[in-house]
Structure 1
Amino acid sequence: MNQAYSVSELRQYIQHWKDHQQSIAFIPTMGNLHQGHLSLIEKGQSLCDRSICSIFVNPMQFGPNEDFNHYPRTLDKDIELLESVACDLVYMPTASELYPQGLEKISQVIVTDLTETFEGAHRPGHFTGVATIVAKLFNIVKPDISVFGKKDYQQYCVIKKMAQDLNLDVEIIGQETTREPSGLATSTRNQYLNEEQKLEAALIYRTLQDASDKIIGGEKNFALIEKQATDRLSQAGFDTDYFNVCNADTLKPATPGDKKLVVLVTTRLGDTRLLDNIEIDLW
């Protein structure tokens, strides 16, 4: 697997591939990779000739109460995992290269409409940091496609809207969430759970499935579904930030006439904040 640390180095590989009419799939990550990330790379490989994964812990998307310095860095293991799925290249830039004048002076990409609620409300500035770094990476890599996991459904929607709004020449692909056998969504944060908590956390997806079953069965009282789900999680020891039935495209509160829905949940078990969702198609 090729490794690049600078923009100029990376672009030499990309230019060579493009000279040979090879398409490129790009998967941006912050490292600490797991099976979910590998599924994104494998999806990209199924659609393109070449695959590039970036590893960069982006300081711009961390809030003042989120510890950037303690985000797990597991570079050696990450490289082994990327090699195991035959990723063509890993790009590992430094903050000084991507933010040469520091975060205070960097131009920002602000995606409107989708970023004020849910994670945007609980983590102010987070999506500006995400959109800015992803836009920069898209301009550096110039991929044909980029694959994002749907576990972070709001992020997926934000990146898709950014690409559309700015006429970026990249197709955004959503990849379905990978799960543990219990149903728990695969996540970097799962490493903070003990074995007992991992079993308890499987209740999140079961609660989403129950909500989906009720909606597919014809229940239109979404507020009732949300309350029942939140109460169920609370009784099991979770502290829920939100559990909401939304229009899958706008992330606005769902109406009885909506046909494409997504149920979003973020809840805490102990000190660990866990995200998940379930899509519902009523067509």
Structure 2
Amino acid sequence: MLPIKTKNELDKLLKSKSNSKVLGLVPTMGALHKGHLELVKKAVQENDLVVVSIFVNPTQFDNPEDLKKYPRDLSKDLALIESIDSDILVFAPSVSEIYEHSVHSKTYDFQGLDNVMEGEFRDDHFNGVGTIVEQLFKLIKPDNAYFGEKDFQQLRIIKKLVEIQKIPVNIIPCPIIREAHGLAMSSRNERLSEKMRLKAGFIFKTLQSAKEKFGTKSALKVKEWVKNQFLKEGDFEVEYFEIADVETLSPLKRKVKNKKYRAFIAVYAEDVRLIDNIALN
């Protein structure tokens, strides 16, 4: 399996294979794991033709060191994709191919979805996400695009991007895939020591307990309890824990009947930033 490196080559290939086929897209930054592969399998089941993009997008990193350390292994990624279906097209462009002469992001009005949680701690992150996703949508013109719920805030923002830019694509959310001990699968997990990777199951275990407590306690009490759990554990540094409205992502102050809420967390373990979330009702 050979990756497609240029936009022109991809455009020609897609035109030659179009014939009114239903086209699916799975955007990734590579370092593929089982979570990514579940997205790819779902896309293969639901579409006639699938494109997987592999591109470590510099404009969504606010920390240059994080960008530098992000795991990359294109040959391994290609082998994993080929094991699912050898007809999948893999688009793996260079930074210069995507951004040409100027590596910068567009500015979007995501109507406040980008100002909380990840947006509060990662400057301009979602403008970078929006820039690359919009370019991929306009270049590939997929009918369906697949995103994991681990990045739930990103998922909401991509849905908003499609709405404000009037892009004709169905956004398909896919459940979080977890390791055996509960840690949400992420390319960054590879940077954890084996001991810490096992211990990091504590994050999901705490979220599950928070969900139980949310049934009888206020959001403030649940937040205090979660922060105390991590303080007692000691091996993690909590960047944020928030309970928010699923639609607006606004932090919850008082529960409203028939509204859906989700808990979101970001923690550091061995200087590796891990995020997770869970539906509360």
TM-score for both structures, normalised by structure 2: 0.93
Identify which of 223, 226, 229 aligns with 2:223.
226
Do residues 250 (structure 1) and 248 (structure 2) align?
yes
Contact 1:62 1:68 in 2 (8 A): yes
Q: Does 1:280 align with 2:280?
A: yes
SS in 2 for 1:250: coil
Does the 8 Å CA contact 1:25/1:145 hold for their aligned counterparts? yes
1:220–1:256 CA contact under 8 A, matched in 2: no
* 1:24 corresponding residue in structure 2: 23
On the 8 A contact 2:106/2:128 being kept in 1, the answer is: no
SS in structure 2 at match of 1:241: strand
How many Å separate the matches in 2 of 1:182 and 1:102?
A: 43
Q: Which residue of 1 aligns with 2:172?
A: 173
The code of the aligned residue for 2:220 comes to: A
Residue 137 (structure 2) aligns with: 138
Instruction: Provide structure 2 residue ranges, at least 5 long, that are not aligned to the other structure.
Output: none
Aligned partners of 1:257, 1:197: CA distance in 2, in Å?
38
Corresponding position: 1:202 with 2:198: no
Aligned residues of 2:71 and 2:188 also touching (Cα < 8 A): no
User: How far apart, in 2, do the equivalents of 1:262 and 1:66 lie?
Assistant: 30
CA distance in 1, matches of 2:63, 2:230: 28
Give the match's secondary structure for 2:18.
helix
Of 229-238 and 126-135, deviating more is 229-238
Aligned pairs (5 A) from 1:73-88: 73-86=72-85, 88=88
How many angstroms does 1:68 deviate by? 2.3
> Deviation at 1:18?
2.1
Secondary structure in structure 1 of the residue aligned to 2:179: coil
1:236 paired to 2:248 = no
Contact 2:177 2:184 in 1 (8 A): yes
1:95-154 residue CA offsets vs partner (Å, 9 max, x unmatched): 1121112125x6444533111111111110111111101000110000001101110111
Q: What displacement does 1:280 show? A: 2.7
TM-score (norm: length of structure 1): 0.93
Instruction: Please list every run of 5 or more consecutive structure 1 residues that lacks an aligned counterpart in the other structure.
Output: none
Give the AA of the match of 2:238.
Answer: T
The answer to whether the 8 A contact 2:181-2:201 is kept is yes
* CA deviations over 1:39-98 (Å, ceiling 9, x no partner): 111121222111110111111111145442332210110100111111611001111121
Number of positions where the alignment pairs a residue of Structure 1 with one of Structure 2 = 277
What is the root-mean-square deviation in Å for CA atoms of aligned residues?
A: 1.6
Displacement, 1:199? 1.9
